[in-house]
Amino acid sequence: MSYKTRLIKLAIKWTPNSMIIWVANKVLKGIAELEAFEFDLDARKVFVQTRLCGEPETIDVWLDGFAIVNEEGRYAFVLEHAQSNRLWMNNILARVVGRTWKIPVLLQFAAHIALVAEVFAAKTPELVAEQPL
């Protein structure tokens, strides 16, 4: 693991959740309000709780086992498990889980995709998707 990767992981760990929630709520103003956010890069877990504007109840989403996979210079995102407290969201997540999603490498980000892939690389070799890149 490179020094850049270690530094980025530390920055992610040390970023306060309250700051993430504040920034997200600025961006999502008028659409939704982020109420809770937890991100554990080492355990590969994310929890998000949001309330859509005008809706009385929150939507909770749990993601588990995500990574960026690099095969022969091609990058893809894979998600091992996801669930929500809403049936419609579970149906959407079921279409995403266990598949590889090709990440298009835009010219302006081509120099950085390898570093991002290293930060979010799979912890274990078992995190392989059902469909090839």
Span 63-72, mean pLDDT?
91
Asked if residue 127 belongs to a domain, the reply is no
Look at residue 133 in the predicted model and tell me its pLDDT: 46
Largest CA distance in the chain: 47
User: What does the pLDDT read at residue 18?
Assistant: 93
Mean pLDDT of the chain: 90
Q: What residue numbers bound the domain in which 105 lies?
A: 3-119
Could you tell me if residue 126 is inside a domain? no
In a domain, 109, yes or no: yes
Tell me how many domains the chain contains.
Answer: 1
Which CB contacts under 8 angstroms, 24+ apart, belong to 64-67? 65/127, 66/120, 67/120, 67/121, 67/122, 67/123, 67/127
76 neighbors 129 (Cβ within 8 angstroms): yes
Alpha helices for 3-112 (secondary structure H):
3-14, 17-27, 87-94
For residue 16, being part of any structural domain is answered with yes
Mean pLDDT for 62-78 is 91
Within a domain: 66: yes
The pLDDT tens digits for 104-129 are 988 888 888 889 999 999 876 555 54
The answer to whether residue 74 sits within a structural domain is yes
